[in-house]
Amino acid sequence: MSPVTDVLIVFRDELTLALRTKIALAVGLVQPFLYLLLFGPLLGGADRWLFLVPGLLLQLGLFGTGFAGFGLIPDIRAGFVERLRVTPVSRLAILLGRVLKDAVVLVGQAVPLVLAGCLLGLRADPLGVLAAVLLVLITGVALASLSYVLALALPNEYLFAPVVTTAAVPLMLLSGILLPLDDAPLWLDVLAHLNPLLYVVDAARALFAGNAGAPAGLGFAVAGGLAVVSFAAGSRLFGRRTA
């Protein structure tokens, strides 16, 4: 009864259910596609797609994966989580299997977005795009975990959606997803550099452009650190809420 198998069992089950609701997956793509089609042409410069597409991947994470916690609440209420806790499955696997599902769904949504970008004129480094997808996966783990932290920590579920939306907007603006932060006043620049997602977006852009240098490494380090810390916090809260 290895814990790795436990994680895979939960992951496989959750992913099967998620893939069955294809409508939900498609609806999640509507927003970034709208930005791609209606906002992309407004950006100037030949490398505008190299700028916009990596940013939209993160936007997808913020407004899609960021809501992952929403799905946990009804499952706790339905007694599903307790049902798993009465089986010999590893306690950690119950949450980790879910988080991995959320991250994989994010990657699955990222692929059509990148392809659409290519159709519009995105010319990106293929290996760099692959590395960026890995980065998106790690960031997905971080964002899903943070979402579970919120779902478990908030006193009631009605608060969840407004809190996530309110948190996601400044995180999006302060990571330069839609507009470059180059001309930002000092205070805004400082604020942006406190946002871990800024480093992730910078790294994704660098990778798309084929630069595997320091910004890319920093992005991986920040995403990995955020993933570890937020998953640890999530599983701690999860243990307390459902113990």
By CB under 8 A, name the binding residues for another protein.
Answer: 1, 5-6, 9, 13, 16-17, 20-21, 74-75, 77-80, 82-89, 243
Least CB distance from residue 104 to another protein, whole Å? 18
Of residues 89 and 135, the one with the C-beta less far from another protein? 89
Of residues 9 and 178, the one with the C-beta less far from another protein? 9
Least CB distance from residue 80 to another protein, whole Å? 5
Least CB distance from residue 75 to another protein, whole Å? 6
* Cα separation, 52 vs 240, whole angstroms: 40
Least CB distance from residue 94 to another protein, whole Å? 10
* Cα separation, 172 vs 149, whole angstroms: 19
Of residues 42 and 243, the one with the C-beta less far from another protein? 243
Residues 6+ apart with CB under 8 A from 70: 147, 151, 160, 161
Of residues 17 and 118, the one with the C-beta less far from another protein? 17
> What are the tokens at 110?
């990222």
* Cα separation, 243 vs 231, whole angstroms: 17
Report yes or no: 152 and 72 within 8 Å, Cβ to Cβ: yes
Tokens 């795009």 — which residue?
Answer: 129
Residue 136: name the closest of 61, 64, 213 by CA: 61
